[in-house]
């Protein structure tokens, strides 16, 4: 079976490449785009077990969030103290 590559897959691959190259600002923007794309498809009705580009939605959610938690947030030690609802 041929692996599908669409917007979400290409966004993920770009984010991984940027993280590897330590281009964290661009990686953050790319990860944010991936989260937005996954959110869009969730709003459109795809559930966690549904496939998007050959990958379960729950896997996409984990990939983007875990990469953000592991690589982006540690570079912003004041993130949680300065983040508030207004």
Residue with tokens 């050959």: 54
Q: What is the dihedral of CA 19, 21, 23, 27, to 10 degrees?
A: -30
Question: Between the CA of residue 80 and those of 23, 70, 74, 76, what are the distances in Å?
Answer: 22, 14, 10, 9
Per-residue confidence band for 5, with pLDDT thresholds at 50, 70 and 90: confident
Percentage of the residues of the chain whose pLDDT score is greater than 70: 86
Q: Which two tokens mark 79?
A: 């993130």
Kindly calculate the radius of gyration of the chain based on its CA atoms and give it in whole angstroms.
14
Mean pLDDT value across residues 2-17: 89
Predicted confidence (pLDDT) at residue 79 exceeds the cutoff of 90: no
The domain limits of the chain are 7-78
Under DSSP, is residue 1 helix (H, G, I), strand (E, B) or coil?
coil
pTM: 0.84
Under DSSP, is residue 54 helix (H, G, I), strand (E, B) or coil?
coil
Cβ atoms of 4 and 53 closer than 8 Å: yes
């Amino acid at each position: 079976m041929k692996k599908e590559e669409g917007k979400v897959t290409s966004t993920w691959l770009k984010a991984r490449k940027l993280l590897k190259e330590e281009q964290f600002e661009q990686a953050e923007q790319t990860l944010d785009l991936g989260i937005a794309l996954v959110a869009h498809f969730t709003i459109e009705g795809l559930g966690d077990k549904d496939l998007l580009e050959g990958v379960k939605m729950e896997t996409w959610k984990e990939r983007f969030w875990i990469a953000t938690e592991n690589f982006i947030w540690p570079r912003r030690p004041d993130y949680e103290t300065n983040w508030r609802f207004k």
